[in-house]
Structure 1
Amino acid sequence: MSPKAAQREKPLIMVVGCGDLGSRLLTMLLQTPETQHVVITGRDEERLTRTANLARFTAANLGLVEEVGVERVDLEDVDATAETLARVRPDIVVMTASLQSWRVITQLPRKHFEALDEAQFGPWLPMHLTLNHQLAKAVRESGTAPLVLNAAFPDAVGPVLDTVGLAPTAGIGNVANIIPALTFGFAIEAGVAPADVRVRLIAQHYFSHYVPRFGDEGNGRYHLSATVNGEPLDDIPHRAVFAHLSGRLRRLGGEAGQLLTASSAMRVVHALAGGGGRTAHAPAPGGLPGGYPVRVDAGGIALDLPADVPLDLAVAINEDCQRADGIDRVDADGTVTFSAREMSVMKELLGYECRTMRLEDSGEWAEELGAKYREFAERVTA
């Protein structure tokens, strides 16, 4: 079912995927008037119904009585997905589905996880690109034009799909997830209130993943600036701020950390839904590689780069950081070349090697990678 037509004066938000992130986001969406018209979609109708009702009842405990639409969607069936989109006509689509969640490898025995984590995230791209490509084709086929936000490795998925004119509006998470901790870190170093600090960060997924774990930037190129009430904090060493993220500002990660991604998504969705303009950070706005500061309002998402950073420099910074994440480049036809060092880890541990991947072959590579990973996981956990 879908929300009643009478409610459509507010935007209809479709959450694609009923996993941990989609469920957390759904609960948040029901908490504000601007974002309460929601339909959640996925393949498992029983799970969808139970998830929708849990979110409804949680909202009811807070004095908010809202309906949640439920639609069965199998992204691998592009035609059927397009028909659903054409019938439901969402204004905003939030994509949370992938063929294998990023956190799956964190469940390996520690030494095996740490060894495989040396491959970084880039080689896992087909697991996140494949379903996004299917959704993008369905949106095009449906004749609708929703704003699309992608949570599945958006830093790389966006630029690949942009080569064929199918990039999501923007991504969520990643660069946005590190901003609160950086803000608190600068506040500590400057001796001011976090509310008075504004941070602007240009960085790819590698940076936002690495800094909270190790307290430095590793091999990731980035551009970071902060102000207090408009005055620059140029005299504060970045390493001093980064050290706080693995120290007093350390946080839970893994599945528990999905709460931060859901709140990053909520910040963007709420502004798009008419909750007022605001600054934010987002990966892949307009299909650009990596993450950027942005401004968001009901009209859409626009870049908000520092005055001293032109767009071509921001893109170059992110492309360089992307190499540290295991992706050497994305060609104009959508072909991805993976970095030799990171792919060598995949070959050694999983017996999987993909040096170049065409967009149309993503599904086949995902199938092979999934099988090789399952064999590895069974072997090391036996």
Structure 2
Amino acid sequence: MTSAPARAWAVLGTGAFAQGLLRGLAHRPERVSTVHVIGRTHQRARGVAALATGHGTLAGTHVRFVPHDAGLSPADRLRPLLQALRPALLIVCASPQSPSEARTRDSDWSRLLRRAGFGATLPLQAALVRDSVLACIDASPGTRVVNACFPDLVNPALHAEGLPVLCGLGNVATLATATRARLGVRDDRRLSLLAHHAHLSAPDDPRDEAAGWLDGAPLIELPEVLGEVRAMPRDFLNELGAQSAVPALHALTDPAASYTGHLPAPHGLPGGYPVRIAGTVLSLRLPPGFSRAEAVAFHREREHLDGVRLGEDGLLRFTSGTHAALRAYGAELPTAFRPADLPDLSRHLLKLRDRLRQTSVSPPDQKESP
């Protein structure tokens, strides 16, 4: 039997999630021969690539990590870069808005984020993913795009626009990995979890909680287990999410590999699901008696937890509380909008952010990374 050829991947981003993913790939490259690390500056990309190379040296693996500069406006450089690289996967781990800012800085902008909810940043989370998909379509149509930036809603929004994103990373996979660790469950086939990005925090209404099954039976103690998981520092959870992505990514590109676990937004579905990957084909792995339609409805009913919904009519809608918070801080955004409007809304939010960040003060024990 002829072995599958070695492959090249590209990782867009150099932040905490991207670094965790690259560390995981350094230790478990399988048939990946080269990973292209794309950052806003060559210095940053080179440093992160060097760190991953060091981990590969420690692990005794031979994957190459090659740095590339995408500039401050990556959309302008992605097309020629992707045309030259032609990676099997493009993994987007970067957005104009860090999810941690609401927790680590004090400014009118961070106060807006805390009041409005994470869904208020949807246009910013979608911006670079959208550019990446369009760049792949034009310059490297064989490249499959995977998104780690708010995939639970970004991916469905882009699919509604006709832009394919294969799946997401993190979120439900993060919670499932930490849940299995708490329960001492080593076999990932035993656990099935339906969880949205919003379930990284406890919902105010217990009826909005995630749902889980162990060995096909409802996991009654899930709220208590998730309470322990949510008590972990967010950067620890981020590391688990990044590391758990590695075997799933291998299975998406290697017909000989398989994966049983969890992923957010498979094929543009809202929220996160138990999945399996065999022969590079991604499919749902729902508990007995639970249909795809019921799983999708479960997540549709909980999208409001992040402050924005995607309706069956294809329109995105901010919840009343999120929209009121945005208006209170000067954001002139409509209540309802089309996925195609996301780039314009992103530009508006970036201008607003520049103004509201002027009072930014980092807490003394949580200084920003350079």
Instruction: Name the TM tier (shorter chain).
Output: 0.7 to 0.9
Q: Pick closer, same or farther for the CA change 1:217–1:147 going to 2, 3 Å.
A: farther
Pick from 356, 359, 366: which aligns with 2:339?
359
List runs of 5+ in structure 2 lacking aligned partners. Answer: 363-370
Q: Pick closer, same or farther for the CA change 1:272–1:302 going to 2, 3 Å.
A: same
Indicate the SS of the match to 1:173. coil
Q: Which amino acid in the other structure matches residue 191 of structure 2? A: V
Question: 2:355 — aligned with what?
Answer: 375
Q: Which amino acid in the other structure matches residue 352 of structure 1? A: A
Residues 203-241 of structure 1 show CA distances to partners (whole Å, capped at 9, x for unaligned) of: 22112x213xx7x765635432112xxx6355x343333
TM-score, length of structure 2 as denominator length = 0.86
1:80 to partner: Cα distance: 4.2
Pick from 264, 267, 272: which aligns with 1:291?
272
Residues 45-100 of structure 1 show CA distances to partners (whole Å, capped at 9, x for unaligned) of: 12112221222123213333442223333595656422322221111111111011
Q: Name the CA distance, whole Å, in 1 between partners of 2:115 and 2:170.
A: 21
CA contact (8 A) 2:86 2:140 kept: no
Pick from 312, 329, 340: which aligns with 2:320?
340
Tell me whether 1:225 sits opposite 2:175 in the alignment: no
Q: Name the CA distance, whole Å, in 2 between partners of 1:111 and 1:184.
A: 38
Please give the residue correspondences for 1:148-167 in structure 2 after superposition, counting only pairs within 5 Å. 148-167=145-164
Pick from 117, 133, 139: which aligns with 1:120?
117
> Aligned pair count?
356
Pick from 283, 286, 291: which aligns with 1:302?
283
CA contact (8 A) 2:7 2:88 kept: yes
Question: 1:321 — aligned with what?
Answer: 302
Indicate the SS of the match to 1:102. coil
Q: Name the CA distance, whole Å, in 2 between partners of 1:86 and 1:112.
A: 37
CA contact (8 A) 1:176 1:281 kept: yes
Pick from 83, 92, 104: which aligns with 2:89?
92
Alignment identity in percent? 26
Q: Name the CA distance, whole Å, in 1 between partners of 2:337 and 2:56.
A: 44
Which stretch of the first structure deviates more once superposed, 46-55 or 362-371?
362-371
Pick from 178, 185, 189: which aligns with 1:194?
185
Residues 302-353 of structure 1 show CA distances to partners (whole Å, capped at 9, x for unaligned) of: 11111211111111111111122111334555x31111112222333x3224
Q: Pick closer, same or farther for the CA change 1:97–1:110 going to 2, 3 Å.
A: closer
Q: Name the CA distance, whole Å, in 2 between partners of 1:129 and 1:330.
A: 17
Indicate the SS of the match to 1:131. helix
Q: Name the CA distance, whole Å, in 2 between partners of 1:75 and 1:312.
A: 41
Question: 2:27 — aligned with what?
Answer: 31
Question: 1:3 — aligned with what?
Answer: none
Q: Name the CA distance, whole Å, in 2 between partners of 1:143 and 1:115.
A: 38
Q: Name the CA distance, whole Å, in 2 between partners of 1:109 and 1:221.
A: 29
CA contact (8 A) 2:11 2:18 kept: yes
Indicate the SS of the match to 1:381. coil
Q: Name the CA distance, whole Å, in 2 between partners of 1:158 and 1:112.
A: 25
Q: Pick closer, same or farther for the CA change 1:38–1:297 going to 2, 3 Å.
A: farther
TM-score, length of structure 1 as denominator length = 0.83
Q: Pick closer, same or farther for the CA change 1:276–1:44 going to 2, 3 Å.
A: same
Q: Which amino acid in the other structure matches residue 241 of structure 1? A: V
Indicate the SS of the match to 2:341. helix
Residues 265-298 of structure 1 show CA distances to partners (whole Å, capped at 9, x for unaligned) of: 2231133343731211111100111111100244
Q: Name the CA distance, whole Å, in 2 between partners of 1:92 and 1:277.
A: 16
Q: Pick closer, same or farther for the CA change 1:64–1:182 going to 2, 3 Å.
A: closer
Q: Name the CA distance, whole Å, in 2 between partners of 1:85 and 1:232.
A: 45
Q: Name the CA distance, whole Å, in 1 between partners of 2:89 and 2:61.
A: 21
CA contact (8 A) 1:219 1:324 kept: no
Tell me whether 1:50 sits opposite 2:47 in the alignment: yes
Which stretch of the first structure deviates more once superposed, 110-119 or 273-282?
110-119
Instruction: Give me the CA root mean square deviation.
Output: 2.9
1:24 to partner: Cα distance: 2.3
Which stretch of the first structure deviates more once superposed, 301-310 or 103-112?
103-112
Tell me whether 1:10 sits opposite 2:6 in the alignment: yes
Indicate the SS of the match to 2:301. helix
